[in-house]
């Protein structure tokens, strides 16, 4: 019995990607469809990491294809291919890094660093190669959160090797100074140190480099957002009015330098009592969601106020690795997937495909 090709495509088009809300046929993610004597095969290429969803998606596609009369067996090759995307004009790209994402906040104390660490670990858990640049020069916290200590090695005396834990590459000023020393540096010194950390680290084929930005919108933050080749930025805020006020300033700063805002993460959105189950919106309710709607930006998700998040980060094993199958880790992974989907929608970077032009003088 022959298989109706149109019916097969229609059936496959009924499977919706839960992360994009679109089907795989119209988005051309489904490729190389072939059918012979009831044997159907095709490829599906995701532009974002979603390792935890690969098998459910494969099963849904197989089921849809088998529902078509005449289809006996279905073979699906589902792969993840993360592309490099465009950055600000005139900013030097970084070798070995496809996409750089700034995680920023208008003020301190909103859980930006904890969110950055867990998002990096979530992207890695979903199948991406990830690094973290701890750009908080005056209060580096990634060494503790990522369970790392010691100094980076240098094989050539000019560049550094990132330290690695939980499958994530990390570099921080905290690896280069004593942890009890105060960084009494003026802005230009701090900015130069950060540029060296960024450009003199041997990042190894990163799909994403997460930059844990210093809090605020001062000279250091502005200079970094102008000099670091950013694919986009994520704003972390709590629902509290005073945090939202400062988050707006962060949004405006990135807008001024031409860095797209990939979305807003609302941290400490709700507290759930572990004893009685009562929930309380300690810092207000839906402030981040309302701000995202006001600025017409993506609301990437909300994270709870939970003591374990703090305890696990302080212990060097953030929630995503401490309880990988837990509810909160699931929230971080959902936010990370939405972030990666947003990146995948950005304009791609084609500079690596341009031919190099050499001018020679005839003699």
**According to the annotation, is 34 in a ligand binding site?**
no
| Sign of the torsion formed by the C-alpha atoms of 196, 199, 200 and 204 | positive
Structure tokens at 26: 């119209």
**CB neighbour burial string for 8-29, b if at least 16 within 10 angstroms, e if fewer:** beebbeebebebbeeebbeeeb
Half-sphere exposure of residue 290: CA atoms within 13 angstroms, side-chain side: 11
Does 131 carry a binding-site annotation?
Answer: no
Find tokens 């289809």 and name the residue. 71
Q: Is 157 annotated as a binding residue?
A: no
Residue 107 assigned ligand-binding role: yes
User: Measured between alpha carbons, how far is residue 70 from residues 5, 7, 277, 353 in Å?
Assistant: 11, 11, 52, 43
Length of the chain: 363
Per DSSP, the residues of 1-63 read ----HHHHHHHHHTPBPTTTSSBTTTTT-EEEEEEETTEEEEEEEESS--GGGHHHHHHHHHH
Burial class (CB in 10 A: 0-12, 13-18, 19+), 342: buried
| 106 known ligand binder | yes
Contacts of 12 (CB under 8 A, 6+ apart): 23, 24, 25, 30, 33, 42, 61, 64, 65
Does the annotation list 26 as a binding residue? no
249 is in an annotated binding site: no
Q: Answer yes or no: are the C-beta atoms of 102 and 194 closer than 8 Å.
A: no
Q: Is 353 annotated as a binding residue?
A: no
Residue ranges of the binding site for ATP:
106-113
Residue ranges of the binding site:
106-113
């Amino acid at each position: 019995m022959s298989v109706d090709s149109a019916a097969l495509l229609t059936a496959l088009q009924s499977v919706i990607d839960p992360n994009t809300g679109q089907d795989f046929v119209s988005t051309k993610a489904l490729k190389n469809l072939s059918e012979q004597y009831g044997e159907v095969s095709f490829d599906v290429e995701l532009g974002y990491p979603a390792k935890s969803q690969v098998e459910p998606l494969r099963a849904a596609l197989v089921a849809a294809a088998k529902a078509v009369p005449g289809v006996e067996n279905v073979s699906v090759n589902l792969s993840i291919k993360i592309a490099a995307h465009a950055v600000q004009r005139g900013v030097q790209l970084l070798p070995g890094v496809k996409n750089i994402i700034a995680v920023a906040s208008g003020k301190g104390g909103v859980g930006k660093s904890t969110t950055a660490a867990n998002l990096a670990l979530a992207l890695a858990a979903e199948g991406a190669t990830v690094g973290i640049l701890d750009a908080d020069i005056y209060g580096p916290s990634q060494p503790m959160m990522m369970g790392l200590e010691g100094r980076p090695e240098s094989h050539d005396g000019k560049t550094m090797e990132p330290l690695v834990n939980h499958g994530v590459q990390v570099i921080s000023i905290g690896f280069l100074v004593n942890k009890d020393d105060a960084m009494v540096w003026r802005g230009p010194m701090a900015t130069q140190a950060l540029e060296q950390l960024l450009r003199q680290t041997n990042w190894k084929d990163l799909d994403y480099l997460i930059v844990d930005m210093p809090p605020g919108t001062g000279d250091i933050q502005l200079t970094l957002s102008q000099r670091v080749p950013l694919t986009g930025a994520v704003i972390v805020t709590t629902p509290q009015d005073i945090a939202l006020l400062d988050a707006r300033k962060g949004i405006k700063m990135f807008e001024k330098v031409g860095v797209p805002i990939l979305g807003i993460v609302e941290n400490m959105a709700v507290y759930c009592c572990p004893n009685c189950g009562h929930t309380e919106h300690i810092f207000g309710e839906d402030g981040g969601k309302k701000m995202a709607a006001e600025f017409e930006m993506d609301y990437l998700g909300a994270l709870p106020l939970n003591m374990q998040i703090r305890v696990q980060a302080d212990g060097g094993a953030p929630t995503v690795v401490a309880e990988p199958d837990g509810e909160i880790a699931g929230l971080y992974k959902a936010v990370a997937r939405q972030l990666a989907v947003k990146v995948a929608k950005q304009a791609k970077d084609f500079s690596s495909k341009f031919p190099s032009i050499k001018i020679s003088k005839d003699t």
